[in-house]
Structure 1
Amino acid sequence: MTRSNTAIFILLIAVFTCSGAAQPVDTVEELKVCARMTDKEARLACFDDLGDRVLREEPADQKPPQEKVAQAEAESATRSNAQPLPDELGRSTTAQYVGLITSCKKGGRGDWYFFFDNGQVWKEVNRRNLRFKECNFNATIMTDSFGYKMRIDGEERTIRVKRHR
């Protein structure tokens, strides 16, 4: 350290130790003073001194934080009137849409397009070999973890689809 930095450092330590004995000093103001220092070593020493002083001023009768948390949990458990949660809370609710398919068309690449009565168009994405004699039936579209599946009423199979329009 240079002489001027050492002098500032000694002066700050003297001010901090004298002011602590005379009256309680605002810790926030001391932090601001330490933060404004330009010399790294003096700033570090200032923060260390401030931290040591704050730890010395801490009352000894305080419980460790884990004991406080455990005690607070025990008190809240005895005070609370626990209501049971509804059974449906953990279950996933799958969004479903039931509609009438008015027409089906096979695309140029072998994928099917399903036209619903409300104007929605859904496209088959798994390119299975499907055959439909007539396309006038009800279908249910369900959400899946990877998109949507369509189940034609009266059939067991599902067709993976995506919204086209």
Structure 2
Amino acid sequence: MEKATSATFARDHTMIRSIACILPALLFAAPALAQDDDPFAACASMTDDEARLACFDSTYARQQVVIAEREIVEEREREEVFGFREEDAALERAQDDVALTATVAEVLQGSGRSQVLLLDNGQLWREVSGSTLRNRVRDGWAASISRHWSGAYEMRFEGRSGYLRVARMR
């Protein structure tokens, strides 16, 4: 038992020393790597005004495409995890006002009088207790889903008062 404890301590101590040696190198390398990733750095070093301006213009146009593609990917990822509390908790901490907008494709009957809503993006939400919407939801209604301060999700409908308290099923 004593040998296992000493061996474990030695292994852990060696690992900590390795991390302590590598960590400063990574911290100092990060700014250098960030400078290499700056697409405008090459343009800034040009001395000819016309060439520099042309370089900035073309780099800016390329970056707009990159940003648009990144936003599309982020939107898809957000839609995938939105409504699953564990997965989107980190996402929602990073963004203050996160909401999802979709159209109700089909309204199904759940247990009791509860409604199950299939949205046009394929998500399935079920009504839970605590709703204030007096009407039954209809196909084609525009829905906006947001997270309440309590952690529950609320589905509001364009042109209607009240909300459905909902939980995502898939």
Q: TM-score, normalised by structure 2?
A: 0.39
Larger Rg: 1
